[in-house]
Structure 1
């Protein structure tokens, strides 16, 4: 099933919330499904991306919705080795390797992190949504490092609230091509779906997408590359990759937003979720978890230090 774009004009007796308008126009879909499409940037009002479900739609406004293809997937528990960093009664902290997809989707119906976690904790199914049981946040397929999995609905809501309120501190290590304009800096550039390539994201003009903020700090410099520490203050899809490319320093190995020809011998992009600070259910003080660079990334740095 290919994606479908639906455009219609709102004709109502009064102003109405955007998610309610969509739920009424698409009765075959749930309101939560519509809220997810709004949140992920698939909805435009008068040709502007709107990402707030409570946006008030006025009579005569034009609404455009991109409905991505959906392929039902029956979740299966699989015996896939996982590096568990911390096993809490309510939460699992996993060190995800590069190449492992987080949750099932079209083209990745099995062999995902979700399938692996279900092999460890079979009763996860159904938490947080049918295809993402227990998943609180995401990492791209080729991004390695720390990821949280909630073991029950209460923990899932507790952790999601912390992400929503920006109380979770995430630190990534990225090797980029070139040098940033300043050794340390703050990138404020809104992000939305790329209108020309709907499966990709893009930095857009203010008011056209969702707020996105990343702070970065130079950790090591090389002749043609820089190792930076990135702190995403918001959690947009592909945020760090887009923001670093936006300042002229794409991540090494990122052929989607960076250079088509990889500058170093690496079969993945050099982005690693190295540190995560979060408060767990039932605890008053936050915990910090750390993950060292995988051997293939550490080897790249060692080679650069010798050259």
Structure 2
């Protein structure tokens, strides 16, 4: 869905700006300083924004801050002189924008819940001119839509999008407070053991030479817990229901591999020979799908389920026939 190229996070900025001071608005109350700067400094690579914060060139009411510092309405932020990258408008092909619109499951005044297809990045960058969020913005003509969380490009299913900065911050807080129930379905390689129901293994993110993130089980990493429930067995694979207690990068994929049964089609953490065998049988995607999100919102219980697509269903039928 996303094609073309745009500058990566390591691109060298160009046009010069001047130092300035900006007030935090009521709508920005509670926003992190790094996200505030990324919004106010359009075209500046994220890596450059974080560098400015670390060097102390960004000040809030005259004081140095960390990138996790949450702003308060009325505070004054000093933004130093920055070399700005000329910003180009993001335009998504109309056909793809319309397809993204059809993926909307729930339209709430404060948020959207969509069923993201597999193979579509949620946002642009790293060589992608646009992402799924840009397609939704264009289709609905709502430029302020923001992702409340993320899904891997190869993962399909429930994606929550805020319709304002205030709503999106509140949604993100729900994820941080771990009050959002996140359920997935996954097809894993081999016969999953009956006695593995909880994988409690800390995860650590590492950056490889090519800049690619890879997550490993490491005692020095962040706590991570995943619950696995067997839904159906096949001769060469097991269909699982998965529930996250924590939400770490690539958590399900790494925990599945750690248990000896990687997710079918996982080219990063899976087994190459097994993936080849499954591809020959017609299973050519990552079989991980965010099937359900549930959370409380302004006194109302929101529960949304996203169905798998026809290609997923056809793959399971092929496994049953085998």
Q: Which has the higher helix share?
A: 2
Partner of residue 97 from structure 1, selected from 117, 141, 155: 117
Give the unaligned 5+ runs of structure 2: 1-7, 12-33, 35-49, 70-84
Q: Is the 8 A contact 1:75 1:115 kept in 2?
A: no
Does the alignment pair 1:247 with 2:244? no
Q: CA deviation at 1:147?
A: 0.3
- The equivalent residue for 2:293 is 276
Report the equivalent of 1:161: 173
| Counterpart position of 1:115 | 134
> Structure 1 residues 25, 153: closer, same or farther in 2, change over 3 A?
closer
Report the counterpart of residue 213 of structure 2 in structure 1: 200
Contact kept in structure 2, 1:166 and 1:233, CA below 8 Å: yes
Aligned length: 250
Matched, 1:35 2:50: no
User: What is residue 45 of structure 2 aligned with on the other side?
Assistant: none
Post-superposition offset of 1:268: 1.4
Distance verdict in 2 for CA 1:73–1:268, change over 3 Å: farther
Rounded to whole Å, the distance in 1 between the matches of 2:272 and 2:65 is: 35
After superposition, where does 1:22-101 map in structure 2 within 5 Å?
Answer: 25-27=54-56, 35=67, 74=88, 76-78=90-92, 79=94, 80=97, 81-82=99-100, 83-101=103-121
1:258 is displaced (CA, Å) by: 0.2
For the pair 1:231 / 2:243, whether they are aligned, the reply is yes
Distance 1:107 1:236, change over 3 A: same
Q: Secondary structure at the match of 1:194?
A: strand
Identify which of 293, 303, 315 aligns with 1:288.
303
Q: In structure 1, list runs of 5 or more residues that go unmatched.
A: 5-18, 37-52, 54-70, 126-132
Q: Deviations over 1:11-62 (max 9, x none)?
A: xxxxxxxx9x9766424678999637xxxxxxxxxxxxxxxx8xxxxxxxxx
TM-score, structure 1 normalization = 0.72
Alignment partner, residue 40 of structure 1? none
Output the TM-score relative to the length of structure 2. Answer: 0.69
Could you say if the C-alpha distance between residues 24 and 254 of structure 1 is closer, same or farther in structure 2, counting changes exceeding 3 Å?
closer
Cα RMSD (Å) of the superposition?
A: 3.1
